[in-house]
Each structure stands twice: as structure tokens, then as C-alpha cells.
Chains A and B, each alone.
Chain A
Amino acid sequence: MPHRSRPQDFDDYWRRVRRELDETAIASEQEHVPIRSTEFCDCYLVRFTSIGPYRLFGYLSIPHGDGPFPAILAGPRYRSVVELLFQGEANEKRSRFVMFSTAGRGQRHADEPFAAEYPGLVTEGIDSPESYIYRGIVADWARAADYLLARPEVDRGRVTAVSRDSLPIVAAALRPELTHVVAQPGSFFQVTDKASGELDDYLRMFPDKRDLVERTLSYFDPLHFAPAVRARTLLWGDPATLGPLSGSIAGETDIQPTDPSQYKEGVFEECWLSEQLGFAEPILPRCWQR
């Protein structure tokens, strides 16, 4: 995985983001959602504020019973829709974990005043690190972590950031209270193949902006965040490619090669999470229990 040079003002850039977060009241509100609540959990719509200020959205599930409970944070992803639970995950996971699935700026329920385009999000404001949309989206991840970590139901010793991109790594660097990370670094700062396609489109249209784009993206390379990541980490991807990143993460790190079978990947990830968070057995979808 080609990495970009670390900007000299990398720390200052992210220090300013953290300061903006500190100076922005989170102003959260929760609304119970009966239709997404069950006999084993309650579900809430959550609204809270990130830098800008910008109002964000999330689905929060809290298990019934005596907590505190381990928690899973699914922050903003590259898609317009925010899911209560990732498609294909057993609904009963919500009986074990506090689960917080959030929309970043631009996604549904957080799309006013900015409605993201797909494709289009990855190059939004990319000519400058100050205007780049992912400066805000990274802050949105951190702000979601702030909300979750403040919940009394959450066991602060077991809080996992999960997404199949590199953003959990970045979030864990900004918020070292996150104890576990599951991420899939891919291309550039490493979102998805679609994202890479967006960059190709942009640079084909504006070839003279390549240096600007490279400079902006250098502030988002997970390699530069890695030394600040103390979380126990699972990286999905090619071990040879991910070697430098894995070696730079301060916390203990596993690399698991991706597999064309979503079943095999899913079982591995659920087992890894369960083991790390202290459970003998994972909670699997019924169709995987045969």
C-alpha cells in the first residue's frame, strides 16, 4: 500500500480538529423507537452535534438488563444510508452489545445542509485539507465516540470501532479510549474501490490538481495515525501490503486476509470480536448456525 509523506503540520492540523470538538457542545437528544426495540433491547434515534457546528444522527441500541455492556461503534461509512445494524448481522447482537451506528455529515438524516453525493463525496473539497469533507467526517467519528463513551450503560474497557475502511484507525488515534478496532484499509486513505474510482475521475478531469490532492490526502493516511492507536486491532487485507501499517500501530494487531466468501469473513470477525470482548461464543446469524 503506497503511503504518503507525513505533513510537517500533521499534529497541528488534527490538534485544531480536536480543539474544535472540545469547543463544540455535543447537545445530544434521544428518542425511543418502539418498532426497532425488542424484548432484549431498546432502540433510540440520537441527534448530536459535531464541528461546524453540524447536527448528526445515529441509531443507539441498549441491551436490557444490568450493564455496563461492551459497545460497538459503527461510524460514518461511504454510503448514503445509515443502518441500524450492518446488513446480515444477527439482530440478537443487540442483546449483548450497546450498538451505536451513526451517520456522518451528508448521509441520510444528517444531510442538511450538506447532502453528499455518491459518487462525489470522496473528492468534496479535496483541493485543500482545510476544506476537505473528510476533515469533518473524521471529526464526526470522534464525536460519535464521545457520545458513546459518555453513556453510563457502556463498559469503557470494551469499546470497539468497526468499519470496512480505515476510519476506525483514525478514530482510535483521536479517541484512544476506544479499546478495539476492526478496519479494512484499502486504497488512498483507504475507503473503497469506488472511492478510488472517484479520485481517478477527479484527476483525469483536473490533472493539474494532483499535487493539491496528494497534499490533502497526506493528512488522512492511516500510517500517520498508527503510533497513536493503542487499541487491540484487526486489519482486513493483504498481510504483505498492510505490514508497515500493522507494524506502526501501537496496540497489538492481527491481519486477516480478505476472502471472497462473506460467510467466512463474517464468522471470523464475529469470533474475533467475541474472543476479544470476553465471550465464549459469538452471536451468529441463524443461517450460519447450521
Chain B
Amino acid sequence: MMEPLERQRPDQYRTVVKRPSDFDAFWDDLLSQAALIPLNPSVERVSLRSTPEVDVYLVHYDSLGGVRIAGWYCLPHERSGKLPAIVYMPGYVGEPSIPRENARNGYATFGFIHRGKLRSNGQFNPGYPGLLTHNIVDRQTYSYRGIYIDAARAIDFLLSCDDVDHTRIGVTGGSQGGGLTITTAALRPEVRAAVAAAPFPCGFMDAVALGNTYPYQEIRDYLHLYPERRTAVEQTLAYFDGINFAPRVTCPIIVHIGLQDNVCPAETGFTAFQAISSEHKQIYPYEGHGHDAGRVELRETVDAFFRTHLQA
């Protein structure tokens, strides 16, 4: 069993993550490949989930490898003109919810569902546990290669919508949704504001050493069975680590973490935040909180942040 690292102040932690010299080239090339794939969006109103205040649509679009991606698109029933939009990024194991609440507040909202999750798993379905280590020794086929592009193309979906103001798009999410918030803000300059809670995956190998819980435990399990593959695993993960995407994030961003996070160690959230390039970044570390990252306490701040950057 790997020995845990000695704990220190999480804001002073020094990550083991190294940024590959061709990191930007790798992702710019993938974005170029993805741009050649027609989006082929379909939008179907779902009467059962629509309310007098909010129209709900089940959306599908094409992504890398021809994988069909789903999502929940919500619009205020009473609307006029172009709307600001927020993409809600999903967690690792939970079910993506239908983001009706902020549609009631005047946003176009999109609850994105990446490949491998229910409704987006017809062509790609490694399962849970397993998604995190699927093809983990090959960056050209690793599961998150497609997932990050799926998320980036959620922005393309919003850009295809007549109701959306293309200059006022935000992203948010917690846990894996927090990580996807960072990667999407990094890959898509159209993102104007972002809120990431307890971001995962950031600092894959840091978390493997610092923690003992799933989902990062999947990597620990893999390396326990295949210790000889450690170098290949580390080389792959460097291309998918949220910490390495962070320097590309230039939009206003909030990161909030729990200092007793038992899923995403606080050290990894601090490290990702410190690597973000944006001049308008703020971190909210919550003492006495775990993977909830203080979201209840921060709710009003987040609402005000999106109002400032997307509704002004």
C-alpha cells in the first residue's frame, strides 16, 4: 500500500503535478478536431418536466468519436430577448439534475450529461467504478479525453441557441462538476464567469497519495494491481489534470472548497486555484466542511457573482 504524504497547511502544499510541454498543443489539436464534427443538435420539449414558469427540453448533440451527448436545457417560459446562460457540470456518480431553479431567475440553463452517464452511455459505458481508469495508460483514448470535449461542446450547443446571448455564458459545478468547470473555462474563451466547488479531478496523483476514498481510490486500486504501469499512468493523467488547465482560465472565477474534504483533498483545490491565471479570482475555503465545500453558506455569493458577470 502506498504511504500517505505528510499533511501540511493545504494552501502551502506543493503539487507533484508536472505540466507536459505539449499540453496546450495536445488540447488545441483536439479542439480543432472537435470543431470539424457537426454538432447535429436535437431539442425535444419534455412536457412532464416543464412547469408554468420553465420550459424543459431534452437535448442531444454529437461529440468526439461520434458519441451522442445529452443534456437538460431549461428556459424561462416568459422571456424576451437574449438570455444569459449557465452550464451545470455533473458530478462523478450522481445524476445530473434538471436546472430549473435558475431558469426561473431568467437564465437559459443547461444540465450537461457527459459520455458514460445515463442518457449519454449508448456508445461509451465503462461503468462506475472504472470510468476514472478507463484506458488510463493512453492519453489518446483515456476516458476524460472525450468527457472534456463533451463539456466544451456544451458551449457550442448554447452558441447554437437563438435564445442565448453568446457573450454572457457561465459554467458551474461541484466535485467532478467543479473540475469540468475549470477545464471548460480553460478550453472555451466564450465562458465569461465560472464557479467551481471542490474540483475533481485536480491533482490526481496528489489525491492518490493524500486520500483513501473513492473515486480517486480507483487509481489507487489500479496501481495496486499494476504497479509497473505507474509511469504511464502519471504521463497520461498530466494531460487531464485540472491543475494543468488552470493557467488557461482567464475569466472571473470563484473556487470554493472544504478544508476537511474527504473526496478532493483541500490541497488539490488550493493548488488548482493558485494556478488560475484570471485577475478576478477568489477562493472560499471552509473550515469544518467536507466535500460540500460550504455551498449552502456561499449560495448568495454565487448568485450575486453570476448576476454581476452575466446579467449586468
Task: State whether A262 and B292 are in contact (beta carbons under 8 Å apart), knowing that A84-B214, A286-B210 are contacts in the complex.
Answer: yes
**B129 and A287 contacting across the interface, CB-CB below 8 Å:** no
Q: Is B79 an interface residue (CB 8 A)?
A: no
Say how far A95's CB is from chain B's closest CB, in angstroms: 11
Say how far A155's CB is from chain B's closest CB, in angstroms: 24
Q: Is A27 an interface residue (CB 8 A)?
A: no
Q: Is B179 an interface residue (CB 8 A)?
A: no
**B258 and A88 contacting across the interface, CB-CB below 8 Å:** no
Residue of A nearest to B4 (CB): A286
The segment from A164-172, A200-208, A241-249 that touches chain B is A200-208
Q: Which residues of chain B come closer than 8 Å to A34, judged between CB atoms?
A: 225
B4, B48, B128: the one contacting A201 at CB < 8 Å is: B48
Within 8 A of B (CB), among A106-165: 108-109, 117-119
The segment from B149-157, B232-240, B283-291 that touches chain A is B283-291
Q: Is A281 an interface residue (CB 8 A)?
A: no
**B127 and A108 contacting across the interface, CB-CB below 8 Å:** yes
**A85 and B214 contacting across the interface, CB-CB below 8 Å:** yes
- Interface 1/0s, chain A 249-290, versus B by CB < 8 A? 000000000001111101000000000000000000111101
Task: State whether A261 and B289 are in contact (beta carbons under 8 Å apart), knowing that A36-B129, A87-B213 are contacts in the complex.
Answer: yes
Q: Is B43 an interface residue (CB 8 A)?
A: no
Q: Which residues of chain A come closer than 8 Å to B224, judged between CB atoms?
A: 35, 38
Q: How far is the CA of A182 from the CA of B143 in the complex (A)?
A: 35
**A205 and B214 contacting across the interface, CB-CB below 8 Å:** no
Within 8 A of B (CB), among A70-89: 79-85, 87-89
Q: Which residues of chain A come closer than 8 Å to B211, judged between CB atoms?
A: 285-287
Q: Which residues of chain A come closer than 8 Å to B215, judged between CB atoms?
A: 87
Q: Is B35 an interface residue (CB 8 A)?
A: no
Q: Which residues of chain B come closer than 8 Å to A266, judged between CB atoms?
A: 262, 290
Interface class of chain A by DSSP: loop
Q: Is B118 an interface residue (CB 8 A)?
A: yes
- Interface 1/0s, chain B 184-213, versus A by CB < 8 A? 000000000000000000000000001111
Q: Which residues of chain A come closer than 8 Å to B291, judged between CB atoms?
A: 87-88, 262
**B212 and A285 contacting across the interface, CB-CB below 8 Å:** yes
Q: Which residues of chain B come closer than 8 Å to A287, judged between CB atoms?
A: 210-211, 213, 260-262, 265-266, 290
Q: How far is the CA of A204 from the CA of B295 in the complex (A)?
A: 30
**B260 and A263 contacting across the interface, CB-CB below 8 Å:** yes
**B292 and A194 contacting across the interface, CB-CB below 8 Å:** no
Q: Is A25 an interface residue (CB 8 A)?
A: no
Q: Which of A80, A92, A109 has the most CB of B within 10 A?
A: A80
**B266 and A81 contacting across the interface, CB-CB below 8 Å:** no
B128, B214, B296: the one contacting A108 at CB < 8 Å is: B128
Interface size range on A against B: 35 or more
Q: How far is the CA of A84 from the CA of B291 in the complex (A)?
A: 19
**B212 and A35 contacting across the interface, CB-CB below 8 Å:** no
**A264 and B48 contacting across the interface, CB-CB below 8 Å:** no
Q: Is B92 an interface residue (CB 8 A)?
A: yes
Q: Is A211 an interface residue (CB 8 A)?
A: no
**B288 and A263 contacting across the interface, CB-CB below 8 Å:** yes
Q: Is B278 an interface residue (CB 8 A)?
A: no
Q: Which residues of chain A come closer than 8 Å to B81, judged between CB atoms?
A: none
Task: State whether A285 and B127 are in contact (beta carbons under 8 Å apart), knowing that A34-B225, A79-B94, A119-B49 are contacts in the complex.
Answer: no
A80, A119, A285: the one contacting B213 at CB < 8 Å is: A285
Say how far B19's CB is from chain A's closest CB, in angstroms: 25
Q: Is B138 an interface residue (CB 8 A)?
A: no
Q: Is B1 an interface residue (CB 8 A)?
A: yes
**B213 and A194 contacting across the interface, CB-CB below 8 Å:** no
Q: Is A9 an interface residue (CB 8 A)?
A: no
Q: Which residues of chain B come closer than 8 Å to A263, judged between CB atoms?
A: 258, 260-262, 288-290, 292
Q: Which residues of chain A come closer than 8 Å to B296, judged between CB atoms?
A: 260
Task: State whether A35 and B214 are in contact (beta carbons under 8 Å apart), knowing that A205-B48, A260-B297, A288-B260 are contacts in the complex.
Answer: no
**A262 and B212 contacting across the interface, CB-CB below 8 Å:** no
Q: How far is the CA of A230 from the CA of B292 in the complex (A)?
A: 33
Say how far B260's CB is from chain A's closest CB, in angstroms: 4
Q: Which residues of chain B come closer than 8 Å to A90, judged between CB atoms?
A: 212-213, 262
Q: Which residues of B contact A (CB under 8 A)?
A: 1, 4, 7, 47-49, 51, 92-95, 97-98, 117-118, 127-129, 210-215, 217, 220-222, 224-225, 258, 260-263, 265-266, 286, 288-292, 294-297
Besides A266-B262, A288-B262, 15 more A-B contacts (Cβ < 8 Å) are A35-B221, A35-B225, A85-B213, A87-B214, A89-B213, A90-B213, A91-B220, A108-B127, A194-B95, A261-B290, A263-B288, A286-B212, A286-B262, A287-B210, A287-B265
The 3 lowest CB-CB distance pairs between A and B, nearest first, are A263-B290, A285-B262, A260-B296
Q: Which residues of A contact B (CB under 8 A)?
A: 34-36, 38-39, 79-85, 87-92, 108-109, 117-119, 194, 201-202, 204-205, 260-264, 266, 285-288, 290
Q: What are 14 A-B contacts with C-beta separation under 8 Å? A: A83-B214, A88-B213, A109-B127, A117-B118, A194-B95, A260-B295, A261-B288, A262-B289, A263-B292, A285-B213, A285-B262, A287-B213, A287-B261, A288-B260
